[in-house]
Amino acid sequence: MSLHPEIVEAVRRAIEEDIGAGDVTSAACVAADRGAAGRFLSREPMVVAGVELLPLIFEMRGGVAELRVEKSDGAQAADGATIAFVRGRARTLLECERVALNFLQRLSGVATLARLFVDRVDGTGCRVLDTRKTTPGLRRLEKMAAAAGGATNHRMGLFDAVLIKNNHITAAGGVRQALERTAGLTLRVEIEVRTLAEMREALDAGARHLLLDNLTPAEAAEFIREIGGRATVELSGGITLDSVRAYAETGADFVSAGAITHSARAMDISFRLEGL
């Protein structure tokens, strides 16, 4: 499997950070020719993400004799399920354990939380978006995990879509001025509006994608009724698992939740070594 260079570099940095010049404990305690097998086990129900990194992690430390993935990215894993099985040199398995677990636990946490958000809006026709509120250096991985959980990836960065926020509007001199400066761009253009007056100005200026930020569900529903299908609507701003259904039922096309990446907890996954 071919992985993006950013992902390969993230794994390389993680290995260098943890293993450095070598695992001195394993080198001291375990014979160099000792073989072993191990299992990555879920310790609670979860949506799995990050297993596609396991071959890369082990390859960077010399490879293993066997690696069998039992739960692919996006799969549900029950408490006690085997996520992956690996067999090779005991030293290799031991030195890669923490790096592998750190990625699996973090990314499975993102995927699991994404799935919870997606399940809450089921049947509304509204899609859940992730955001740029990611761990520095791990955005591509965390967005892959969000997608594994069923969320829709929003823009990857500042370079692949135009999203005019309130500070851009201020700097441009107003809603209409900001939109006029995007004329002719081939990228998708979305603009944040905070009041009915801004919304009307944006629509009059030709906006086709609106971001409504920090509104209550009742306020959002009022905006959406007036928009009347003239533009797609994204809702954002402090949307939680408890509130996302109410926002989705306003008729919005999208809800975005930064919590999917900035507040996901690490899932409980362990690695159990078995001698050969």
Question: In the beta sheet, which residues pair with residue 68?
Answer: 85
Buried b (16+ CB within 10 A) or exposed e, 98-108: ebbbbbbbbbb
Continuous segment of H or E residues that includes residue 111: helix 90-120
Active-site pick, 34, 43, 127, 133: 133
Residues 6+ away with beta carbon under 8 Å from 49: 73, 74, 104, 107, 108, 110, 111, 144, 145, 148, 149
Active-site pick, 130, 192, 198, 253: 192
Q: 13 an active-site residue?
A: no
Question: CB-based burial of residue 80 (10 Å sphere; 0-12 exposed, 13-18 middle, 19+ buried)?
Answer: exposed
Active-site pick, 39, 165, 176, 181: 165
One-character DSSP codes across 143-165: HHHHHHTTPBP--SSTTSSEEE-
Q: 133 an active-site residue?
A: yes
Q: Judge contact between 175 and 153, C-beta under 8 A.
A: no
By C-alpha distance, which of 265, 204, 276 is closest to 43? Answer: 265
Q: What tokens were used for 178? A: 């900001």
Active-site pick, 18, 70, 213, 222: 213
Q: Judge contact between 246 and 217, C-beta under 8 A.
A: yes
Active-site pick, 43, 98, 132, 194: 98
By C-alpha distance, which of 110, 111, 116, 112 is closest to 244? Answer: 116
Q: Judge contact between 267 and 102, C-beta under 8 A.
A: no
Q: 71 an active-site residue?
A: no
Instruction: Supply the residues annotated as catalytic.
Output: 98, 133, 165, 192, 213
